[in-house]
Structure 1
């Protein structure tokens, strides 16, 4: 669908019925019941009924979507059922993750016949650029979001950190986000330890960085996997270095405002923003990781790990500890071999934080409506269902007694047949679930929250650890900040240069290519790259956020 002129009037005003609504949506003449198990006490705040089908006419929408690996969205169970429920035919245009930036640009510039860009994780700076150029719709204009996606609107209004993450300084809103709520989903990274290795070296789970070092050392020196080869163990491994960093930062007092800002955090002494990579605490962190790397306790392939290498390490029982969100990246028969560290590690300077924790938010750019769409009202209604209790359950788990079951305690779980597919085909949790639900891979325009989400984070080991680690989280969480177009323009230059320099230097310091005795020269170079201006821009964003608080 396209429109030839910019949006001038909004269609179909939906009233906000906060008080007396059922949390089961109304389905007319489609014969589909998602579940009969929902209580009269909704978890989400809007609880405004959605009436299906959405239209009595033969209607279609064209959606550009970034899916899971190479899976065709037409083959995903939830999408097939949702077409029947809504009466809206979807014409999908899949795009690979490494091609989506260029594809989105071309779609918008050429005013292609696309009504919705979904799961493409468009960053805030690009959203502002596209929005101010008139290429995507401002959902705040003429109450477009409020009138047509009342459940999403209600949620954002009741969660200031979520609202701040999608609201620009001028009040515009260019996307619907993904929100992760609850400790199980807000704690983004955990440390998982091979319990069989732990038993072989006769040690307890560590509670300090020194104990963690001693555990890794034991794994390295005592043939922890018991195969007779004393040199094939990788004490600390992960699929990517950022996961390692996320789990280590808190022990050094870094990222003390949570997961969403990995460039700056807060100086508790001088009460202003600071560049994380320029602090004495960061230097201590680098020194610690350099020690792990030099003794081959940290995987020396950590900076260029491939999925094939990771899988090979996991299958051959070479991994002692790894950092990740959950256990879903392991083969199914390996998942029971790991336990989680559920207490924040105390660092050498007395910090005992777990800062790999999100605000009540996940990411921007989950759903964006091009300016060329001529039925934004219908697109938003199509999306709004996913911000209801029933809708987020359906999005993540499908339909009761077909793809999920209700346990005796009222909790939800995937049907036994889904777990059987994992075992029979030696596939990961995400690989199998992605054929039923669109959520694996992230960037979902919905709220991921217990009890309606049954991803890998909700398994007992990661979920219980997250609940305990959440207690060690920052005292305050910053949102994902938005900036003015002028600020974005400056950040696109100076922040990119600073991040690139910091990342390259981080590798050099940890691998020993560069000595930490060169720290002063490193700081001097950061000054030349413009950290003063960078910090002033972030301080302005923090001040705006403080002004938004109730």
Structure 2
């Protein structure tokens, strides 16, 4: 009896299970033409996966990964990148966490050299690798060639590298590319510094903007001797303050030797070394006269940039030689400073040495990284379109730095800077900025995408640049990836030359110069192989004619 009950229960269970399964099959069949079944969703997802990496779209990886990136922020940056809103948003979109290794501003080269020498590199280096570092180390197995990765995973970067100018500046002598392109190639990027004077003080003194070196000296004397700021005192104004000898270099155009940062200049196809010319001596004698008259701040050869900023913001400084007036003097006093056109020198020279538009190295990958594919997809996403690039460089639209105008163009809200900040401070503390982000904004990006109406900062920057570039020299040293041995030789010679010129020039400006001292200086330049340096530079210039 008991066995018969168990058998009946077993048969009933089988019948119920059969009915349930039949119903499930019917439900699935009835829904074939609506939503995909779960196993079909999985099949689609798997087809877009290669390991943990999605081949297209967002997120970039299925399971979150963490990558280490070393970078150096803008000098005005005070907000850790990991705390920025865009950093958090990018992690949400891509499923990639960035562990930033911040190198203090101004220490990028030193710290990078230590990393390279030890071989202890993070997954990627962001905007801190120079041409010299790449050329001198690309064959040491430290950095990962990116050609194949870009072809496979980075359609946006591939389009950028299709530009011959971009490709030539990124391609190493072995024919490979080791970095993604980056940088903002705007017109003002061709101007390194402007000579500014306080227009309000000039008006107080009844003086016009100086046009010549002689007029500039006379204006500085008037500032020193009279009550230029109108506070009833004649001893609290600083006529001119600089930051080291390099700050004087951009004024050499008045003496017919406008040159690049290594003192190389080109005239009629001939390369020369400005710091070894008689005109350089004339410039030093002019600067010494300014110094002897008490017109140059005595701390100019010892102070750093922040000390200069403090003097300008205090309201005691009349003239300085920097890029942006509001960065130096702040949002309130900055607009009082008017840039000058390149000064006309004693022999009628009026030149400006433009900074050649160069592509920066955006992201360089360590050969040891486990996440090369994901990193390339990540940096390619950052360069997807105008909106994404703006978000990375200037923050989310809701943060106010920029506004989408809805017509394919955007407005930079330079007229809405929060109180207590200048434009640069707001810009570089909201997002990664154009100086640190691995984003490439080509020569036509501003013209195509940015509206100048209501953007006084950009309009003025463009106006300043175009006015000064009227006097630019068209002959410039091309940016090329040269042979490793030549690169090392150039770097070695230039290190010694730069130190010699910097120390000698500072001494001559402060103490003056006579024939014996000048001849001794020229002999030291020869011993430091400046003639060999010029020869190598001439070969580079000739190779790209």
Q: TM-score, normalised by structure 1?
A: 0.78
Structure 2 residue corresponding to 1:398, chosen from 382, 387, 395? 395
The aligned runs of 1:240-389 (5 Å cut-off) are: 240-246=244-250, 248-255=251-258, 259=260, 261-268=261-268, 271-307=269-305, 309-326=307-324, 327-341=326-340, 343-355=341-353, 357-361=354-358, 364-387=360-383, 388-389=385-386
Maintained 8 Å contact 1:190/1:462: no
CA distance, structure 1, for counterparts of residue 106 and residue 309 of structure 2: 22
CA distance, structure 1, for counterparts of residue 85 and residue 342 of structure 2: 39
2:159 matches 1:154? yes
Specify whether residues 76 and 365 from structure 1 end up closer, same or farther in structure 2 by C-alpha distance, changes over 3 A only: same
Q: Give ranges in structure 2 of 5+ residues lacking alignment.
A: 1-55
Structure 2 match to 1:73: 81
Specify whether residues 397 and 98 from structure 1 end up closer, same or farther in structure 2 by C-alpha distance, changes over 3 A only: closer
Specify whether residues 415 and 97 from structure 1 end up closer, same or farther in structure 2 by C-alpha distance, changes over 3 A only: closer
* Larger relative contact order (CA 8 Å, sep ≥ 6): 1
CA distance, structure 1, for counterparts of residue 414 and residue 276 of structure 2: 50
Deviations along 1:275-327, one digit per CA (max 9) or x if unpaired, are 12112222222222222222122222111123553244223311112111112
Q: Give ranges in structure 1 of 5+ residues lacking alignment.
A: 1-49
CA distance, structure 2, for counterparts of residue 113 and residue 532 of structure 1: 37
The aligned runs of 1:110-121 (5 Å cut-off) are: 112=120, 114-120=122-128
Structure 2 residue corresponding to 1:212, chosen from 207, 216, 234? 216
Q: Tell me by how many angstroms 1:133 deviates.
A: 0.7
CA distance, structure 2, for counterparts of residue 398 and residue 158 of structure 1: 28
2:224 matches 1:225? no
Q: Tell me by how many angstroms 1:106 deviates.
A: 5.7
2:435 matches 1:435? no
The aligned runs of 1:452-467 (5 Å cut-off) are: 458-467=457-466
Structure 2 match to 1:125: 132
The aligned runs of 1:76-225 (5 Å cut-off) are: 76-97=84-105, 100-101=108-109, 103-105=111-113, 107-108=115-116, 112=120, 114-120=122-128, 122-140=129-147, 142=148, 144-158=149-163, 160=165, 162-225=166-229
Maintained 8 Å contact 2:313/2:328: no
Specify whether residues 348 and 163 from structure 1 end up closer, same or farther in structure 2 by C-alpha distance, changes over 3 A only: farther
CA distance, structure 1, for counterparts of residue 284 and residue 164 of structure 2: 36
Point out 4+ residue stretches in structure 1 off by more than 6 angstroms: none
Maintained 8 Å contact 2:262/2:498: no
If each structure's helix is expressed as a fraction of its own residues, which one has the higher value? 2
Deviations along 1:67-88, one digit per CA (max 9) or x if unpaired, are 3456321112222222223232
Maintained 8 Å contact 2:153/2:373: yes
CA distance, structure 2, for counterparts of residue 304 and residue 208 of structure 1: 28
CA distance, structure 1, for counterparts of residue 451 and residue 57 of structure 2: 23
Secondary structure of 1:321's partner? strand
2:496 matches 1:497? yes
2:65 matches 1:53? no
Maintained 8 Å contact 1:178/1:443: yes
Deviations along 1:37-65, one digit per CA (max 9) or x if unpaired, are xxxxxxxxxxxxx9433334433322122
Q: TM-score, normalised by structure 2?
A: 0.78
CA distance, structure 2, for counterparts of residue 54 and residue 294 of structure 1: 63
Secondary structure of 2:219's partner? helix
Q: Tell me by how many angstroms 1:200 deviates.
A: 0.8
Maintained 8 Å contact 2:401/2:427: no
Deviations along 1:494-546, one digit per CA (max 9) or x if unpaired, are 22222211111111111125435532332222122212221222122223333
Secondary structure of 1:434's partner? helix
CA distance, structure 1, for counterparts of residue 451 and residue 539 of structure 2: 36
Specify whether residues 297 and 149 from structure 1 end up closer, same or farther in structure 2 by C-alpha distance, changes over 3 A only: farther
CA distance, structure 2, for counterparts of residue 90 and residue 367 of structure 1: 13
> RMSD across aligned C-alpha pairs, in angstroms?
3.1
Larger Rg: 2
The aligned runs of 1:396-545 (5 Å cut-off) are: 396-406=393-403, 411-414=410-413, 419-420=417-418, 423=419, 426-439=420-433, 445-447=439-441, 450=446, 458-512=457-511, 514-515=513-514, 518-545=517-544
Maintained 8 Å contact 1:263/1:275: yes
Maintained 8 Å contact 1:184/1:463: yes
Maintained 8 Å contact 1:54/1:86: yes
Maintained 8 Å contact 2:125/2:365: yes
Maintained 8 Å contact 1:208/1:347: yes
* Higher mean C-alpha deviation, range 321-330 or range 309-318: 309-318
Secondary structure of 2:289's partner? helix
CA distance, structure 2, for counterparts of residue 516 and residue 407 of structure 1: 62
